[in-house]
């Protein structure tokens, strides 16, 4: 028999970026709020403190801050006729599992979507005709426009404290920024990060070739910063321990550095860790949620937590999983083409070229997750889809992330992968390479989706989430297009040698090597309840007191990293809740 706790106004599932924003914005309304976090509590000191966190083996290789597959994982298969097997070791993507979520171990690349990306289907149809959309591709408009979201992107960026260079201020092109970006209402909060040699070499060459390089928008402080909550960042020292680590220096934007100490000052907010939500409970008619049931690790018991409003702010995959387990929305059936939950799962297309320079010393240990020059000349809104034969796009970046010695030892072709030859190769080539990489879109398809696995269960006896996903020719063609563009720039840099790694036609999705923690969709937003789980305010079409925050809302993936987009959407939704929902709870659309 589950313990039943006193009712709260709001329960928030997950205390990462979106849960923290929801917490503080709703705390301002005086609501009684409980956030439930499945993982551990974490703070800069002691959890990310100098020098302990700069431990590549513990955190980079052994995933110290990530979810543990023994407790939470997915099963994977490539196609509907395959049998899915559980992912027993993390690889392709790395969801977090503690306070701060994946928002504490990211690289800080913070982008706004293009206006065209937010109405992708309409854009493609208007510009190139609906017939270029492959039959199995299920791309959609988001149901909310760039113009509507601009103030919320702006607010999110100022809350995080982004270092960058605007390229389009209110329609006016600004030199040094991204000329292809949608108009922004003001400059970035901070000047760009300092750039290391590799990115600068790329910038110079790109400019020479008539391209438009600009600094990566970085959730890493280039100077001291104070945000709207009074929270503070200190300037980055370029130690290079960003992705997979918490920042030891209060420099990287995270729920810890940007929100949590301010949120903890509200007496009407509390949070519990090691409390995994098992299910959102619905009323008898299924039209409202009555609260959540979670497993309290400390008490070793299930708890029913009644609440008037449920904010689902878990990682995208877990939000979808919980909807499927709770009966929120109709599960997607790819055969009948009906249902919505699990539909439009998409991923991120990545690839890259490593260039080796025997005479250049890059000092790779000086870097950051966002130390990069970028070109967006081949972005989604710049490509003639009809001519190129694919839908999508990407940005190209030359980054200097880190010089971590276990995983960051790129070697030229021909160097042995073990033994004395490998040792000599490492000695010769450490610090002599420059990576130029693609970060590209991934469309949604009828047979790429999430549902409940028929065989495997988790430690609570719940069916695991099953992922059915593979690469499609459309996206691989985009990748090959980008390969050609990248190799052209790299060749112009005149390296000693270079080697490329991109998806070729026929490539299958491999869940083992890391690609990106940008799993999107599954609880897509939209304007039609037949093809979306949530409305334009990220409110469940079926259960009006449930809101879903995060990249699960994306109907297909952007060419960009998702955090900027999902952060803006979160503020957009919280604004709607505060303005309209609290006074008159009910469907906002």
The residues annotated as belonging to the active site are: 518
* Residues with Cβ within 8 Å of residue 85, at least 6 apart in sequence: 75, 76, 77
Cα(257)–Cα(259) distance, integer angstroms:
6
Secondary structure letter of residue 86 according to DSSP: E
CB nearer to other proteins: pick between 224 and 501: 224
| Integer Cα distance of 97 and 196 in angstroms | 32
Nearer to other proteins, 62 or 265 (CB): 265
Angstrom distance (rounded) from CA 550 to CA 166: 25
**Distance of closest approach, residue 272 Cβ to other proteins, in angstroms:** 19
Q: How far is the CB of 544 from other proteins (least distance, A)?
A: 33
Contacts of 351 (CB under 8 A, 6+ apart): 437, 438, 440, 479, 482, 483, 500, 501, 502, 503
Separation CA 268–CA 355 (nearest Å): 54
Residue 60, phi then psi, degrees to nearest 5? -80, -40
Torsion angle (degrees, nearest 10) of CA 462, 468, 469, 474: -140
CB of 401 to other proteins, least distance (A): 18
Closer to other proteins by CB, 49 or 185: give it: 49
- Interface residues with other proteins (CB under 8 A) are 43-46, 49-51, 223-224, 226, 229-235, 237, 239, 248-250, 257, 261-262, 264-265
Shortest distance, position 203 Cβ to other proteins, whole Å: 25
Q: How far is the CB of 262 from other proteins (least distance, A)?
A: 4
CB of 223 to other proteins, least distance (A): 7
Angle at 404 between CA 400 and CA 406, to 5 degrees: 135
Buried b (16+ CB within 10 A) or exposed e, 28-61: eeebbbbbbbbbeebbbeebbeeeebbebeebbe
State which residue, 234 or 587, has the beta carbon closest to other proteins. 234
**Closer to other proteins at the Cβ: 122 or 224?**
224
Kindly tell me which of 86 and 234 has the beta carbon lying closer to other proteins.
Answer: 234
CA distance 281 to 505: 45
CA distances from 586 to 287, 546, 582 (A): 10, 10, 9
């Amino acid at each position: 028999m589950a313990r039943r706790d006193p009712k709260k106004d709001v329960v928030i599932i997950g205390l990462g970026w979106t849960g923290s924003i929801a917490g503080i914005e709703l705390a301002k309304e005086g609501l009684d709020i409980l956030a439930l976090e499945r993982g551990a509590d974490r703070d800069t000191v002691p959890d990310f403190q100098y020098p302990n966190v700069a431990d590549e083996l513990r955190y980079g290789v052994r995933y110290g801050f990530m979810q543990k597959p023994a407790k939470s994982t997915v099963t994977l298969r490539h196609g509907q006729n395959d049998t899915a097997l559980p992912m027993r070791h993390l690889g392709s993507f790395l969801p977090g599992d503690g306070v701060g979520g994946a928002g504490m171990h990211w690289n800080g690349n913070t982008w706004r979507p293009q206006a065209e990306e937010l109405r992708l289907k309409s854009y493609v149809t208007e510009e190139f005709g609906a017939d270029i959309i492959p039959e199995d591709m299920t791309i959609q408009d988001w149901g909310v426009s760039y113009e509507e979201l601009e103030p919320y992107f702006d607010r999110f960026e100022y809350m995080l404290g982004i270092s960058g260079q605007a390229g389009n201020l209110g329609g006016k092109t600004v030199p040094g920024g991204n000329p292809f970006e949608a108009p922004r209402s003001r400059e970035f909060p901070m000047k760009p990060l300092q750039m290391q040699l590799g990115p600068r070499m790329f910038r110079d060459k790109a400019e020479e070739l008539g391209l438009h390089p600009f600094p990566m928008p970085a959730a890493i402080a280039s100077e001291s910063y104070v945000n709207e909550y009074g929270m503070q960042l200190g300037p980055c020292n370029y130690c290079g321990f960003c992705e997979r680590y918490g920042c030891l220096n209060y420099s990287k934007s995270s729920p810890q550095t940007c929100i949590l100490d301010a949120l903890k000052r509200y007496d009407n907010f509390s949070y519990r860790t090691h409390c995994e939500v098992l299910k959102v409970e619905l009323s008898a008619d299924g039209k409202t949620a009555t609260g959540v049931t979670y497993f309290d690790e400390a008490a070793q018991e299930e708890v029913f937590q009644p609440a008037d409003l449920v904010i689902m702010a878990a990682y995208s995959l877990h939000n979808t999983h919980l909807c499927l387990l709770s009966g929120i929305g109709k599960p997607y059936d790819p055969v009948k083409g009906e249902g919505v939950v699990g539909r439009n799962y998409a991923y991120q297309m990545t690839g890259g070229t490593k260039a080796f320079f025997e005479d250049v010393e890059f000092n790779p240990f000086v870097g950051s997750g966002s130390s990069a020059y970028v070109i967006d000349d081949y972005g989604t809104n710049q490509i003639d889809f009809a001519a190129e034969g694919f839908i999508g796009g990407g940005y190209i970046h030359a980054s200097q992330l880190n010089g971590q010695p276990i995983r960051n030892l790129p070697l030229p072709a021909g160097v042995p992968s073990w033994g004395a030859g490998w040792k000599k190769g490492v000695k010769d080539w450490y610090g002599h390479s420059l990576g130029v990489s693609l970060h590209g879109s991934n469309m949604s398809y009828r047979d790429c989706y999430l549902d409940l696995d028929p065989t495997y269960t988790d430690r609570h006896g719940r069916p695991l989430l099953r992922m059915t996903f593979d690469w499609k020719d459309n996206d691989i063609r985009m990748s090959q297009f980008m390969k050609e563009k990248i190799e052209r720039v790299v060749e112009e840099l005149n390296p000693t040698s270079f080697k490329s790694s991109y998806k070729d036609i026929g490539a299958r999705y491999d869940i083992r090597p890391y690609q990106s923690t940008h799993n999107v969709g599954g609880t897509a937003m939209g304007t039609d309840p037949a093809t979306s789980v949530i409305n334009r305010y990220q409110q469940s079409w079926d259960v009006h007191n449930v809101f879903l925050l995060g990249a699960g809302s994306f109907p297909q993936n952007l060419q960009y990293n998702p955090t900027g987009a999902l952060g803006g959407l979160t503020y957009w939704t919280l604004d709607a809740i505060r303005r309209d929902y609290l006074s008159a709870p009910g469907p906002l659309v």
